Amino acid sequence: MNKVVCVLLVMIASLPGFSQDLVITTVTTPAYANRYESLKAIVTVKNQGIVAISQNSLVAMYLSTDNTLSQDDAIVGFANPDPLLPNQSQDASNSSAERVEVLAGTYYLIMKADDSNLIAETDETNNTYVIPGFVVSPADVDLSFKNLSVGAVVAQNDRLPLNYLIQETGSTAISGGIYVSFYLSTDDALDALDPGMSYFYLFLEERDTVRGLAWHSLTIPAVAPGQYYVIGKVDADYSGNSEFDESNENNNTFAVPVTITPPDIDFDFSQSLTIATLQSFGSTNSIVIDADLKNTGTTGVLGYHADIYLSTDQQLDAGWHDKVCAKSSSGNRQRV
């Protein structure tokens, strides 16, 4: 009997490494954005490879003065597409919109898929999508410090509660937050020598209003008792720098008088109920301490430290004979 043997030859094409390939096929966005506002965009991302992408990717959005992406181009937003099957596309909106900080003018809007370079792709040169002629319009920003109130009298090192109101009266809908800083001055005019006391980063309410939060307060520094001014300034960060170009730069501050008195502070550990318990955690031994620290004075105090020492007797020795084993800014539970 004659046997017929069929041989099936399977031709396997040589596949490039990885075989995952992200590209941006379309971008839906207005042709302009206002300075200091956020850019809105919907990006269509496709995996045109033959291997699934099993993780989220990152699309970054840039404004550039030319059509080539570089390190000095400004980031204006991000999008996070989900994992993609082979030949699958997905629309992704910018989930984190940075405000447009660049000067008014005409730019290239550049989108880049896999901006974090976490996905190994067959082709790493086709990740960008360029839109020419993107216009950034001038901003109309006017941040105004409308009101500030503090207690009339406060002691050195004490807490000074404050309430304040700031409004943005320009037409620009600022995206993100703004800095508000507070200073102590001998007069009602802010200058470079006035020490800063604190700053806050807040978001606009109802598009145009910032109110001080209930927990906002200032710690009065150890200055000589006397008459001073608390000065609030909007659009001043922790270094005094400004973020916005405004139509009116002369209404950013508000000053109120305050009288600073000598402190009456008396820290008292003598009535403290202190419990020291030895505990073992594997090969480590710890002493858990519960202690109550009281201020029996008439004025409050912030920014203090309470130290716990380990000694061979009940007397605190000077120098290095007794060892500091815990530090705290409040009377609380410590593990040493």
318 and 237 fall within a common domain = no
> What's 257's domain CATH number?
2.60.40.10
118 and 222 fall within a common domain = no
Pairing of the two strands 22-28 and 59-64: unpaired
Per-residue pLDDT at 12 exceeds 50: no
Residue 54 within a domain: yes
Give dist(CA 301, CA 159) in Å, integer.
7
Cα Rg of the chain, angstroms: 31
Residue 3 within a domain: no
164 and 54 fall within a common domain = no
Helix-strand-coil split of the chain, %, nearest 5: 0, 45, 55
207 and 254 fall within a common domain = yes
10 Å CB burial of residue 303 (0-12, 13-18, 19+) is exposed
249 and 180 fall within a common domain = yes
Compute the Cα dihedral for 220, 222, 223, 225 and give only its sign.
positive
Residue 8's pLDDT is 47
Residue 295's pLDDT is 80
- Please say whether the beta carbons of 244 and 36 come within 8 A: yes
Residue 4 within a domain: no
Boundary (domain end) residue, out of 261, 293, 324:
261
pLDDT bracket for residue 10 (50, 70, 90): very low
Residue 17 within a domain: no
pTM over 0.85: no
Mean of pLDDT values over 285-314: 75
Residue 178 within a domain: yes
Digit-coded pLDDT (tens) for 311-329: 778 787 766 555 555 555 5
Taking alpha carbons only, the member of 108, 105, 112 closest to residue 132 is 108
Boundary (domain end) residue, out of 241, 261, 281:
261
- Please say whether the beta carbons of 74 and 63 come within 8 A: yes
Boundary (domain end) residue, out of 228, 261, 294:
261
Let me know how long the chain is. Answer: 336
What are residue 226's phi and psi, to 5 degrees?
A: 155, -165
Residue 2 within a domain: no
Pairing of the two strands 32-34 and 128-137: parallel
Instruction: Give residue 298's domain range.
Output: 267-335
Per-residue pLDDT at 1 exceeds 80: no
- Provide the 3-class DSSP secondary structure of residue 285: strand
Across 164-182, b (16+ Cβ under 10 Å) vs e yields: bebbbebebebbeebbbbb
Overall number of domains in the chain: 3
| Residues in a beta bridge with 277 | 288
Residue 330's pLDDT is 46
- Please say whether the beta carbons of 101 and 35 come within 8 A: yes
Compute the Cα dihedral for 315, 321, 324, 325 and give only its sign.
negative
pLDDT bracket for residue 281 (50, 70, 90): confident
Residue 179 within a domain: yes
221 and 248 fall within a common domain = yes
248 and 305 fall within a common domain = no
Give dist(CA 10, CA 262) in Å, integer.
93
pLDDT bracket for residue 205 (50, 70, 90): low
Digit-coded pLDDT (tens) for 186-200: 999 999 999 999 999
Residue 11 within a domain: no
148 and 133 fall within a common domain = no
